[in-house]
Structure 1
């Protein structure tokens, strides 16, 4: 789906889901319940599963030229990867005849596997998941994505690399100005809310940082322990904690580094951001 389509869909739909169910799947939920819809119910009109679409013909015609080959991937084990794997099994493999072997591990194990593979020059994986912090480390190992993007014979229908936000490409998928990877699994937090709960409690959509904190407090006091005002991703030693922290750091105008490269993580804005983050703890589900 193109970036412009996501924005159009997001602004026109009544977005909202339960904080307790949002982390269980990446699929769309039915309007009347928290049960995720099946893949069949979420397919788009341009899906390769629809016979006759451009995507169908691309995978069927171009993919058959690689039938019998094997592609090996390694990524983080995440809800998004699990859903993508279902599509690979139901659409990509049957149409192309290409075998796909997809290893999914916790993020720290992904890093270890990649390092071992590179050190041994084993060439086990064709496609690797690189966290943004690893880009510079593995820059010389991968294939320059521009070479693949410029191959007109392998251009997926309606795929436009320019649909990626330029700051994401520059800061997530590049190192020192050189494109190193295709953006994937971008750690940007977006506000989702339950319109029914806001209406029930007489709340408005929070528009400021102060509003957001007050809203999660009211919801927690009224609904906990069934529903809490927010959710956090604070697992110690996991990059999800870093992604959560930077969301509030940037929201407070802070940064990890100053423009001259000196640390900014302990200035007044960063401290205010960390205090704001910790203030949410009492309004999130307790650690199991």
Structure 2
């Protein structure tokens, strides 16, 4: 029995081959994450920490909440796909399940929301993270391609486990902004965050092992566009993104700093120095 049967029966019975059904699920996902963003903003406005943030930091705070929720979803689905779902392994190129369709349509909806928000924020504030944008836009195009070509659900669904670091990353940033960077809670979360990046490397090695096991089938049957998309992303996360983020988060664990808004930290340091001199 698949994962979605335990959530809601309709999710297992839906006609996912129908493009309109897939679009409906993508749309529901987009709306869900949009509402969660607005709910985060509404509840955050009731706290002093959120109220003291600059507008762009408030956007980042709300995105951290949305990403954290999506990350928890990915952890559950990824663990299920890797350890319990045997159907996807029957054909690494074309096997699909109701759980894989639900997970992938939810993911596309999330990345439509995420990329749209990032694009608007980057245009308004004229500052962008290259790696973050690269990761998210490649993910949006790759997962959209999975649904369109009805292919590679095995890798796509199992690969969701790579988002395991997202909830801990969001907690790390919000605790930093709340001035809790030297508390036991922050240190414990940071330790778990760094460890999730180590586990990401294990998961990426597993993806390469799956490739080795199914290479003949992949090479002979996987659509060319899907092959290029999948292995471009796998090479980037294995050899560039995960090692870089592991280094940065380890560095942050030793010296707490918010490099997403380093200018605000510098301004704060400058203002504190001026205040001390005045006193």
Tell me the TM-score range normalised by the shorter chain. Answer: under 0.3
Larger Rg: 1
Bigger strand fraction: 1
- The TM-score with structure 1 as length reference comes to 0.25
- The TM-score with structure 2 as length reference comes to 0.26
